[in-house]
Amino acid sequence: MGQKFRQFIDNFGYTRIVIILFLFVLLVSAFALELQIKSLLSGILIRTGMNLLLTLAMVPSIQSGTGLNFGLPVGILCGVVGAVLSIAMNLTGGQAFFAANVIGVLLAVVAGYVYGLLLNRVKNQEMLIGTYAGFSVVSGMCMFWILAPFRSPKMIWPYGGRGLRVTVSLEDTFGGILNKFLFRPYKWIDIPWGLLGYVLIFCLFIWLFSRSKTGIAMQTVGSNPRFAEAAGISIDGMRIVGTILSTVLGAMGILVYAQSYGFLQLYTAPLYMAFPAVAAILIGGATVHKASITHVIIGTFLFQALLVVALPVTNAVLPEGNLSEVVRIIISNGIILYALTRIGGGD
Amino acid sequence: MKNAEIKTQQKRMQFMPDIKKGLIRNIVPVVFAVLCIIGACIAQARPLFLLSSVTIRMARNLLLVFSLIIPVVTGLGLNFGIVLGAMAAQIALVAVTHWEITGISGFIVTALLSVPLSIFFGWLTGRILNRAKGNEMITSMMLGFFANGLYQLLFLFVLGGIIPMVNKTIMLPSGIGIKNTVALRGLKYALDNVIKIEYDDLIIPIFTFIVIAVMALAIKFLLQTKLGQELRCVGQDMNIAEASGIDVDKMRITAVILSTILAAWGQLIHLQNIGILQTYGSHEQVGLFAVASILIGGATVTKATIGQAILGTFLFHSLFIISPMAGQKLVGEPQVGEYFRAFVAYGVIGLSLGLHAWQKQQAARNKFEE
Amino acid sequence: MNKPIIQLVDICKEYYGNQVLKKVNVSVRPGEVHALVGENGAGKSTLMNILFGMAVIHNTGGFSGQVFFDGEKVDITSPKEAMDKGIGMVHQEFMLLPGFTITENIKLNREITKHNVISKILGEKMKSLDMESMRKDARKALDTLGLDIYEMLSVEGLPVGHKQFIEIAREIDKTNVRLLVFDEPTAVLTEIEAELFLKAVKKLASTGIAILFITHRLNEVMRVADNITILRDGEVVGKLAREEASVEKMARLMVGRKIDRIQKTEKKSNGSIDENILEIKNLKVNMPGERVKDVSLEVKKGEILGIGGLAGHGKIGIANGVMGLYPSSGEVVFNGDKIKLNNPKDALSKGMAFVSEDRRGVGLLLEESIEKNIALTAMQVQGKFLKRIAGINFALTWKIRAHARKIIKELDIRCTGPEQITRRLSGGNQQKICIARAISLEPELLFVSEPTRGIDVGAKKIVIDLLLKLNQEMGMTIIITSSELAELRSICDRIAIIYDGKLEGVLPPDADDTDFGLMMAGGHGKAKEVS
């Protein structure tokens, strides 16, 4: 009996169990503290939806064998540039969102290709190099935001000063476009059907891709590159496909995130954006070598639920300081750290 | 006459490849030296101002950069985990400030107090890195981020919340948690003031430099002992080291502990000069800037010397001072320069690590084709 | 002086019910060079593992028999104990640190140290290195070997021959060394280096050190050995003094065994039997450990060709090179079509298939289902099991499953179903899956490397019968690479022997044992001259 229980826990993953227990404790305290359960539950759904694509971006990179995509800011910046350009073109609403996506994806395909070439040259060190590639691109783009020749009043500082604002409001453009679409309040929960539907379509797309010839080839490269080579599959080519897909999802993901948040964050904001996405998929049960759509959905849900519930609970218990932020740092970085120490222990 | 000319020309031709080779081998420091010179010309900064700023920054940062050398020699790569050493120093600093011990004696107490903390942190780091062989650098980086969370937990909630603090001057008004900035009045210039030279704007903290030099010699000495030989052996090839009877894991932990202690002392020197502890920020960029510095000096993941550390620190901090000034002159925006140096710090790390990984891949391929 | 330093008496060893050593007796006297000769798998390395007390022996139930060292019965339980007793080993792969000097390498973890101010306080580890004394010791060891090289040079970039000498110098620098074991020491050396090396060995022996010399190179044995022990299938099949030995005699003893020739039914004629299906010209393959230096070979349509030879001589490299898995050059013509080298896809799509020797590394996706393993190559290369919907090729699960079911039944793969993952299957069933994937491509020519390595006896026969069936009933040309000569001789039509990366010769399966032995030991040319 004890053995079976152990095995079950091993299979299910310690991290997931710890997170679920923790979440459970938080939920019980939320009840005890008589917090607004409805707004908590609705908040969880919205946060899950707005982060899901960023987490999903980890799937192609893990499956193609380049590991966790710490270079996600590369894709995120493509999306941000897309949004900035769509605002600069004075588009609004659906048009703006659509244009931002089209531009973002086009840029992401090019950037992902280049980034893929880079990763092919640094095999086995992709995560480390990816992290610093992401960091450098973000700081490089900081200079661009200052010097960029945009004149749209929505984006520049209202009272002079050079460069674009740190956060650009999306209220007049595409803020909340998905959140508001098919938004239905019920008695116990508000469900943003539009937002959830939109992100789940992409989950479905990635799932379908994984059943296609190219998708299968890509996964083969990830799980055994030597086998793949012997089967006539181009290792470098498939890794580039995975990297491009991941980068594209990063670009689309940040647009979903931004429309929900209501603001476009420039400058150093994207610097650490890969980390919550990485942590989420790991919580979902993925490893550096294996990831699936289920991991994405479960992981994003658990991680975001934790954050949403932790904030009011900790504030009620300890009004001073920002305990929930500290908890977030410990949990997300701790989980990544844990995964890194287990890379070699697979077989 | 003509013959002699030809001869010198021939000689020069012979030397040319040497110079070229030397340039290529030291391409990174050379590029940064050129960048600094161009930046200085654009900024039109006063030489004395530059000199004094760089001197101060060298005194502040050299020991932190030195702390990276031993793990490199031991094959752990660049130890981003020196952030934990900085945290050890800051914990000790807060304690000493809390007890109000001042002057050089306060400094010595802090230095001593930080040692057991760093040994403990270093031991933990070493054990974690032993479980992540081949991924030490990214693991040490994530460990830094993770430890930062625990550090905040300690300083924001545990101190005053669980551990009662008698001295309220450094606490937040609520009595729980340490203030965002703690003035280190008693410790400011504790080390620098022992011996220093002042000339106009230029202040040279002679004694601090002496301490740093002693540390450099200590590292050099250590690497020439039996222990050093074993560390180097582990750095070259863990399997061979193991086969010849060296306890590889223990050596790696030893290296990380030494690095963490040096980093703690380095952070102490840094903060006694600044005089203010940014409780939640002072340590964050320590790893990043130290690693960028040593890489700019021409070090790699597998090779680092005291000389490279000194050169790199000089170049990196020159650039640090010059780039906002150049940014101001060039586009009227010092911010551009500030982003530029962040870009440089991240970029040089990414580039250098990337080149190293690429060379390793190439070497593996060439081995097949021998 | 003439008392043996080491005596191994009646050594028996079993691995999982498999008898790998049967009552082996070997003894070596001080000053003697004793050669231990045998094919791969004859039991030489197991014997050495016993001598050095390696963990692998104890973990698999120990051994029976007795070991005497210097007249005393000993029980060596760890390599360290062996070293302390004065048994040294020169490894096949170098244990040298490239960034260290020759001296530092010779003195690795045995450095001479001296006290300084700090070490008196902080302890032993802080002692300085006494480089001068270390240098002198290193010089002495190198001089003993007659190697004239500056002892403070960095090892990086030295020729392999020198590296081998440094390894030996390290062993003889250990002051107590009394028995030195060399495991295939000349395998990586050039001819001139080997010459120098053999001289050094003799010189060492003359100082009274006993030497146990493991090798395949029979000519070298003749040059240096005082006595020779020949192992085959875990048994001592010959003990010769040099005077009574000859290359031919050793070769015959090394290889000779009863051959069970499988009776073949008449072949289904598949075109003219003399037609070449594959022509390999001047093939060079850079496969680490199995380098092919220059091989030209013709394969006839419908035959089973065996490729044999000793490990490390390049037989494995040929199939890997033709199939594009390792960098290669030369010319390969298949059915009159030139194959693009270094391009697995081209080789596969032209009608060749490959079952790799590295089953778990290259042959299988261990975490994936049987059906995916079987269908994958055919899907990727030939577009089987796919349907194009909206411009995307989707895999048809039901088609794959039906195919997998059929082939599982045909090849009798024991599993719970096509969805089972392959990791936990037995070696024989895993091998069948590899073959299943290859024949899903419906190839005209099939390369199979080490088809029976690591699988049990019953499964071996099934795999061999399967290959025979493919050849006879479907007319598939098959090229089998195997270390087991007996296996090749039982089913092949012709057997090519590879030595030192080159084709030594092609023999019919019923050729004389001596010929096989000589060819595998590289002494064929010389033997011809003699006879």
pLDDT in tens, B242-261: 888 888 999 999 999 999 99
Q: How many domains does chain C have?
A: 3
Place of tokens 């280049």: A114
Residue B103: the pLDDT is: 85
**Does residue C450 share a domain with residue C437?**
no
Q: How many CA atoms lie within 13 A of A290 on its CB side?
A: 9
* Residue C479: how many other CB atoms lie within 10 Å: 25
Closest by Cα among B348, B289, B294, B349 to B320:
B289
pLDDT digits (tens, 9 = 90+) for C426-447: 888 899 999 999 999 999 999 9
Chains B & C: contacts with CB separation below 8 Å: 58
Closest Cα in chain B to A333: B146
Helix (H, G, I), strand (E, B) or coil at C256: coil
Task: Tell me the per-residue pLDDT of C342-400, one tens digit each, with 9 for 90 and over.
Answer: 999 999 999 999 999 888 889 999 888 999 999 999 999 998 898 888 888 888 889 99
Q: In angstroms, what separates the C-alpha of A114 from chain B's closest C-alpha?
A: 14
What gap in Å lies between CA C513 and CA A58, rounded to an integer?
Answer: 60
- A332-347 mean pLDDT: 77
- What is the spatial distance between Cα A196 and Cα C332, in angstroms, rounded to a whole number? 56
Give B343→chain C minimum CA distance, Å: 34
Please give the helix or strand (H or E) that residue C25 lies within, else none: strand C18-28
pLDDT number for residue B4: 52
Indicate whether C89 and C38 sit together in one domain. yes
Distance CA A151, CA B237 (A): 58
pLDDT over 80 at A318, yes or no: no
**Where in B8-158 does DSSP place strands (E)?**
none
The pLDDT value given to residue B370: 46
* Rounded distance between C-alpha atoms, residue C134 and residue C112, angstroms: 6
CB contact under 8 A, C381 and A229: no
C393 found inside a domain: yes
Measured between CB atoms, does A232 come within 8 Å of chain C?
yes
Residues of A in contact with C392 (CB under 8 A): 208-209, 212, 214
Measured between CB atoms, which of A209, A227, A234 is closest to C365? A227
Strands C477-481 and C445-449, bridge-based pairing: parallel
What is the per-residue pLDDT for C260? 57
Average pLDDT over residues B27-50: 86
pLDDT at B9: 52
d(CA B266, CA B264): 5
For residues C341 and C455, state if they share a domain. Answer: yes
Residue A110's identity, in one-letter code, is V
Q: Do residue B226 and residue C124 have CB atoms under 8 angstroms apart?
A: yes
- Min Cα separation A226/chain C (Å): 5
Number of H helices, E strands in chain C: 19, 24
Q: Any chain A CB within 8 A of the CB of C362?
A: yes
pLDDT of residue C484: 82
**Strand C33-38 versus strand C227-232 pairing type:** parallel
Q: Could you tell me the CATH number of the domain that includes residue C278? A: 3.40.50.300
Output the pLDDT for position A108. Answer: 96
Asked whether residue C131 is assigned to any structural domain, the reply reads no
Asked if B343 is an interface residue toward chain A (Cβ–Cβ < 8 A), one would say yes
Q: Which of A212, A223, A233 sits opposite C367 (nearest CB)?
A: A223
Q: Which long-range contacts (CB under 8 A, 24 or more apart) does B128-133 make?
A: B128/A337, B128/A341, B129/B76, B129/B81, B129/B252, B129/B256, B130/B249, B130/B252, B130/B253, B131/A341, B131/A342, B131/A344, B131/A345, B132/A340, B132/A341, B132/A343, B132/A344, B133/A344, B133/B238
Q: What is the pLDDT of residue A228?
A: 93
Question: How are the residues of chain B apportioned to helix, strand and coil, as percentages rounded to the nearest 5?
Answer: 75, 5, 20
What tokens does A324 get?
């929930």
How do C33-38 and B181-183 pair as beta strands? Answer: unpaired
Answer whether B107's CB lies under 8 Å from B187's CB.
Answer: yes
Task: Tell if the CB–CB gap between B336 and A146 is shorter than 8 Å.
Answer: yes
Round to whole Å and give the CA distance between A310 and B162: 20
For residues A249 and B361, which has the higher predicted lDDT (pLDDT)? Answer: A249
- Are residue C474 and residue C414 in the same domain, yes or no? no
Q: Return the domain boundaries, chain A.
A: 53-293
Antiparallel, parallel or unpaired: β A263-265 and A167-169 = antiparallel
Cβ contacts of B126 on chain A, cutoff 8 Å: none
Do both C201 and C211 map to the same domain? yes
Which residues does chain A have within 8 Å of residue C368's beta carbon, measured at their own beta carbons? 223
Q: CA torsion angle for C326, C330, C331, C332 (degrees, to 10)?
A: -30
d(CA C409, CA C421): 17
**Going by C-beta distance under 8 Å and a sequence separation of 6 or more, which residues neighbour residue B100?**
B167, B186
Please state the domain extents for chain B: 47-282
User: Residue C393 belongs to what domain range?
Assistant: 360-442
Q: Is residue C519 part of a domain?
A: no
pLDDT attached to residue C14: 83
pLDDT of residue A152: 79
Query: Where is average pLDDT lowest: A312-326, B316-330, C122-136?
Result: A312-326
pLDDT above 90 (res A105): yes
Same domain, C322 and C365: no
Lowest mean pLDDT across A123-137, B159-173, B341-355: B159-173
* pLDDT for position C527: 41
The one-letter amino acid code at A178 reads L
Nearest-neighbour CA in chain C from A253: distance (Å): 24
The answer to which of A12-21, A58-67, A274-283 has the lowest mean pLDDT is: A12-21
DSSP notation for B138-182: HHHHHHHHHHHHHHHHIIIIIBTTTB--S--TTB-TTSSSB-SEE
pLDDT at C257: 60
Q: Please check whether residue C391 touches A, CB under 8 A.
A: no
Pairs across A and C, CB distance < 8 A: 71
Indicate the helix (H) or strand (E) that contains B62: helix B47-66
Q: Which residues contact A168 (CB under 8 A, 6 or more apart)?
A: A83, A84, A87, A154, A155, A263, A264, A266
Model confidence at C293: pLDDT above 50: yes
Give whole-number Cα distances, C346 to A219, C320, C354, in Å.
21, 14, 13
Nearest CA in chain C to B247: C109
Q: What is the token pair recorded at A303?
A: 């991680």
Interface ipTM: 0.87
pLDDT at site A344 = 61
Q: Which residues, at least 6 apart from A26, have a Cβ–Cβ distance to it below 8 Å? A: A306, A309, A310, A313
| DSSP 8-state assignment for residue C101 | B
Burial C257-284 (b: 16+ CB within 10 A, else e): eeeeeeeeeeeeebeeeeeebbbbeebb
Say if C105 falls within a structural domain: no
CB–CB contact A343 B135 (8 Å) = yes
Residue range C506-530, pLDDT digits in tens: 998 888 888 888 888 776 654 443 3
- Position C269 scores a pLDDT of 44
- Mean pLDDT of the region C183-205: 80
For B204-285, where are the alpha helices, taking DSSP H only? 206-223, 226-236, 238-243, 248-274
Of C361, C366, C381, the CB nearest to A231: C381
Question: What b-and-e string marks burial along C88-113, b requiring 16 or more CB atoms within 10 Å of the CB?
Answer: bbbbbebbbbebbbbbbbbbbeebbb
Indicate yes or no: CB of A131 within 8 angstroms of CB of B153.
no
The band of C271, judged by pLDDT with boundaries at 50, 70 and 90, is: very low
Same domain, residue pair C196 and C48: yes
Same domain for C92 and C180? yes
Q: Are A293 and B116 in contact (CB under 8 A)?
A: no
Residue A115 tokens read as 């980034």
Distance of CA A227 to the CA centre of its chain: 31
Element (H, E) at C212: strand C210-215
Question: Do residues C292 and C284 touch, judged by C-beta distance below 8 A?
Answer: yes
Pairing type for strands C352-355 and C445-449 reads: parallel
Task: Say yes or no for a CB contact (<8 Å) between A132 and B353.
Answer: yes
pLDDT value at position B149?
93
Round the average pLDDT of chain B to a whole number and report it. 86
SS3 annotation, C164-200: HHHHHHHHHHCCCCCEEEEECCCCCCCHHHHHHHHHH
Q: Which residue has the tokens 């020779």?
A: C228
Asked whether residue C434 falls in the same domain as residue C453, the answer is: no
Evaluate whether residue C157 is within a structural domain: no
